[in-house]
Amino acid sequence: MPSLLIIAHGSRRAASNDEVRQLADQVRSQPDHAYDHIETAFLELAEPSIPQGLAALASRGATEIVAFPYFLAAGTHVAQDIPEAIAEFSATHPAVTVRLTPHLGASATLPAAILGVAE
Amino acid sequence: MPSLLIIAHGSRRAASNDEVRQLADQVRSQPDHAYDHIETAFLELAEPSIPQGLAALASRGATEIVAFPYFLAAGTHVAQDIPEAIAEFSATHPAVTVRLTPHLGASATLPAAILGVAE
């Protein structure tokens, strides 16, 4: 099975980074998910970095990683910085496939999730 | 039926604000949603403001509004600024009930939505 890396921006505020880690715990505890491992990484201001997070999954045996940008807006971070960080990892790990998904704000599952939140 | 106000931070980057408006369009086009109206408002840097957005719904007949913070982190914006903006509206519209939901990052529907994104 693939592994999942949830990529957040990262914050100077430790509670915000912990909020992302708790979200990963909740994703991990969903029934019947299809991932060997589910971890978090941060673009900046927190650790692990994206290359570190990908490498940690690879060291646990992952050969196929789904990289999910936990971002609302399609700005430079999503369009450039995250792909560059993944490329940095891939240059040294050619045997690991990393598949980058749409960011949260553009994900097809979000509209229904929003309706569910408000009910 | 209630109305839904999707509250985003707002950005100097017009494309980011448009991304939120497009998301509202997608929520609006979900089958069988239970809202008379679904609109967006912005905490800062874009319009309408939260009080303006709530007042626009009220002027269209809404007496019950669900306010959903489209935010990932439980920072000051979510904990203080949004409740204050809602209170500002409520002071002048006592007949309109505004119910504030958890922010997106804390919503119970998010973990399953994330698993759906990455598939």
CATH number of residue A101's parent domain: 3.40.50.1400
Task: Say yes or no for a CB contact (<8 Å) between A74 and B19.
Answer: yes
Closest-CA distance, A7 to chain B, in angstroms, reads: 12
Can you give the pTM of this predicted structure?
0.94
Percent of chain B with pLDDT over 90: 95
A22 touches chain B (CB under 8 A): no
pLDDT of residue B25: 97
ipTM comes to: 0.91
Greater model confidence, A63 or B118: A63
Contact call for B116 and A102, based on CB within 8 A: no
Our count of domains for chain A comes to 1
Residues A65-79, mean pLDDT to the nearest whole number: 96
pLDDT score for B57: 98
Round to whole Å and give the CA distance between B45 and A85. Answer: 30
Task: For residue A112, give its domain range.
Answer: 3-117
Q: Is B108 on the interface with A (CB under 8 A)?
A: yes
d(CA B100, CA B62): 15
**Candidate from A34, A102, A117 with C-beta closest to B109:** A117
Rounded to the nearest angstrom, the minimum Cα separation between A113 and chain B is: 5
Q: What is each CA distance from A21 to A2, A8, A58, B95, in whole angstroms?
A: 19, 10, 19, 40
Interchain CB contact of A42 with B (< 8 Å): no
